[in-house]
């Protein structure tokens, strides 16, 4: 029969083994490579762009179209999306004065920009683009330093009521990598080199904007009908 | 000593489950191994936070405390009533009550059952029962009059 001391020794041995195994499993889960990544500089196929001009919000008959080139991981874009856009949405887009066109412009220094853009594109398949778009921006501080931002985007997808089976399949396929690249290429072509950049008419506006400045600009381009 | 050892192993298991759920919540690991997807429903619900803290973080800290108490208790003579085990009994009792509240939320408010949460509920209940058994055992030992000094064989 084992003495109490032997029992205690055996306990500590089992305990140490369990600690090592448990920590090993957690470390594996933390450091395993991300399951999804969206490649940059992919060759853009015609199917990536056919019939797609960007994510558009507002009336097709609006007199002014504003194109926003933005990066989900850019802090200024985040501020713009969460603080300025609600006013712009209410006063310019919903009133039919402006049509907003959002284009992805993922900067190279932001590792999760393309993944975020792809997540939003996959949400678009289920008619939830703008919800996912906003949630990704709102949660920027939460995921931009995370090890696995994809898991956080998936949480947002779930919270936005997306069918996760379809979402996961979409993310794994990376099918919108070409579309994101095409969007980036378009930005480069028109002269975008930082985010956020707005294209109004044929003029580019770079830097920080507030909604008042944009409303004034729209007022000067297309005065309100009396 | 077997109750203290059992409590230590259960606390360790609870600690790992809470750590897993917390790492998921802060985006350090990918999807949860759950099978039904109900774990995510629970983890992403508004009730996954309590008092401004993630419930999984509360679990992580709680189990770490329970584990610490059991490891301290293991250093005490087995026959004597050990203050860490008394404290463990009180804390695990609070843990059972809190888990009962969370299970109620899962069943009747969120309408989803997270398997990992069920695992944690079983563990905290197990720790509480072991704590009770240890308390009764040490009470009996204390009531017994012995002419001999306490040894590790008293039990």
Contact yes or no for A19 and B12 at CB 8 A: yes
pLDDT at B1 over 70: yes
* Number of structural domains chain B divides into: 1
- Read off the CATH number of the domain in which B14 is found: 1.20.1440.130
Over range A156-184, report the average pLDDT. 91
For position B153, what pLDDT does the model report? 45
pLDDT tens readout for residues A83-109: 999 999 999 999 999 999 999 999 988
Is B40 within 8 Å of chain A by CB? yes
Higher pLDDT, B141 or B150: B141
Q: For residue B18, give how far its alpha carbon lies from the nearest alpha carbon of chain A (Å).
A: 11
Contact B60, B19 (CB under 8 A): yes
pLDDT tens readout for residues A47-65: 888 889 999 999 999 999 9
What does the mean pLDDT of chain B come to?
A: 86
Domain boundaries, chain A: 1-32, 46-221
For position A33, what pLDDT does the model report? 64
Cβ-Cβ contacts under 8 Å, A37 against chain B: none
pLDDT class of B36 with cuts at 50, 70, 90: low
Contact yes or no for A4 and B74 at CB 8 A: no
Higher pLDDT, A47 or B15: B15
Q: List the alpha helices (DSSP H) in chain A.
A: 4-31, 46-49, 75-79, 85-88, 113-125, 129-138, 140-143, 149-159, 164-173, 177-190, 211-221
Q: How many CA atoms lie within 13 A of B113 on its CB side?
A: 9
For position B144, what pLDDT does the model report? 64
Tokens of A130: 């703008």
Q: Return the SS3 of B12.
A: helix
For position B147, what pLDDT does the model report? 47
Residue A196, preceding peptide bond in cis (omega within 30° of 0): yes
Over range A156-171, report the average pLDDT. 91
For position B93, what pLDDT does the model report? 96
Higher pLDDT, B9 or B39: B9
pLDDT tens readout for residues A110-163: 989 999 999 999 999 999 999 999 999 999 999 988 877 888 999 999 999 999
What does the mean pLDDT of chain A come to?
A: 89
Percent of chain B whose predicted confidence (pLDDT) is above 70? 88
How far is the C-alpha of B37 from the C-alpha of B42, rounded, in Å?
A: 9
For position A199, what pLDDT does the model report? 94
Tokens of A210: 């507030």
For position A54, what pLDDT does the model report? 94
Percent of chain A whose predicted confidence (pLDDT) is above 70? 95
The answer to whether residue B110 is domain-embedded is yes
Report for A1-15, A202-216, B118-132: range of highest mean pLDDT? B118-132
Q: Which domain holds residue B66?
A: 2-29+42-141
Percent of chain A whose predicted confidence (pLDDT) is above 90? 62
For position A7, what pLDDT does the model report? 80
Over range A204-223, report the average pLDDT. 86
How far is the C-alpha of B1 from the C-alpha of B7, rounded, in Å?
A: 10
When CB atoms are compared, the residue of B1, B12, B15 closest to A7 is: B1
A64 forms beta bridges with A98
Contact A38, A118 (CB under 8 A): yes
Contact yes or no for A26 and B20 at CB 8 A: yes
The answer to whether residue B148 is domain-embedded is no
Residue of A4, A34, A111 to mutate when probing chain B, most B C-beta within 10 A? A4
Q: Scanning every residue of chain A, which has its alpha carbon at the shortest distance from the alpha carbon of B74?
A: A8
Q: Scanning every residue of chain B, which has its alpha carbon at the shortest distance from the alpha carbon of A152?
A: B27
Give Cα separations from A154 to A65, A124, B16 (angstroms). Answer: 31, 14, 23
When CB atoms are compared, the residue of A5, A26, A148 closest to B27 is: A148
**Which backbone phi and psi does A16 adopt, to 5 degrees?**
-65, -40
pLDDT class of A35 with cuts at 50, 70, 90: low
Q: Scanning every residue of chain B, which has its alpha carbon at the shortest distance from the alpha carbon of A35?
A: B30
Domain A46-221: what homologous superfamily?
Answer: Glutaredoxin (3.40.30.10)
pLDDT class of B30 with cuts at 50, 70, 90: low
Cβ-Cβ contacts under 8 Å, B12 against chain A: 15, 18-19, 22
């Amino acid at each position: 029969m084992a003495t109490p001391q032997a029992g205690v020794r055996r306990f500590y041995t089992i305990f140490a083994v369990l600690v090592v195994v448990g920590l090993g499993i957690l470390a594996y889960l933390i450091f395993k490579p991300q399951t999804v990544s969206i490649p940059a500089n992919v060759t853009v196929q015609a199917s990536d762009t056919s019939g797609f001009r960007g994510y558009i919000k507002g009336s097709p008959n609006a007199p002014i179209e504003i194109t926003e080139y933005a990066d989900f991981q850019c802090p200024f874009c985040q501020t713009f999306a969460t603080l300025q856009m609600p006013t712009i949405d209410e006063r310019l887009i919903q009133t039919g004065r402006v049509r907003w066109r959002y284009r992805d412009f993922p900067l190279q220094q932001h590792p999760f920009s393309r993944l975020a853009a792809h997540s939003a594109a996959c949400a678009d398949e289920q008619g939830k683009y703008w919800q996912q778009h906003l949630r990704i921006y709102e949660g920027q501080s939460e995921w931009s330093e995370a090890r696995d931002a994809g898991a956080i985007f998936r949480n947002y997808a779930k919270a936005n009521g997306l069918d996760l089976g379809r979402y996961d399949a979409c993310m794994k396929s990376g099918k919108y990598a070409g579309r994101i690249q095409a969007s980036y290429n378009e930005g480069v072509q028109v002269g975008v080199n930082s985010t956020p950049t707005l294209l109004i008419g044929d003029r580019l506006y770079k830097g920080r904007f507030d909604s008042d400045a944009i409303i004034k600009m729209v007022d000067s381009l297309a005065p309100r009908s009396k | 000593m077997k109750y203290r050892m059992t409590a230590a192993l259960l606390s360790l298991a609870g600690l790992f489950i809470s750590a897993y759920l917390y790492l998921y919540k802060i985006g350090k690991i990918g999807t949860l191994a759950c099978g039904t997807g109900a774990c995510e429903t629970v983890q992403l619900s508004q009730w996954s936070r309590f008092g401004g803290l993630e419930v999984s973080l509360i679990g992580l800290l709680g189990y770490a405390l329970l584990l610490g108490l059991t490891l301290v208790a293991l250093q005490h003579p087995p026959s004597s009533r050990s203050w860490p085990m008394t404290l463990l009994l009180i804390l695990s009792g609070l843990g059972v009550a809190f888990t009962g509240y969370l299970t109620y939320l899962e069943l009747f408010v969120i309408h989803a059952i997270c398997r990992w949460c069920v695992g944690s509920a079983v563990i905290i209940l197990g720790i509480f029962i072991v704590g009770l058994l240890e308390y009764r055992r040490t009470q009996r030992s204390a009531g017994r009059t012995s002419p001999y000094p306490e040894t590790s064989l008293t039990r």
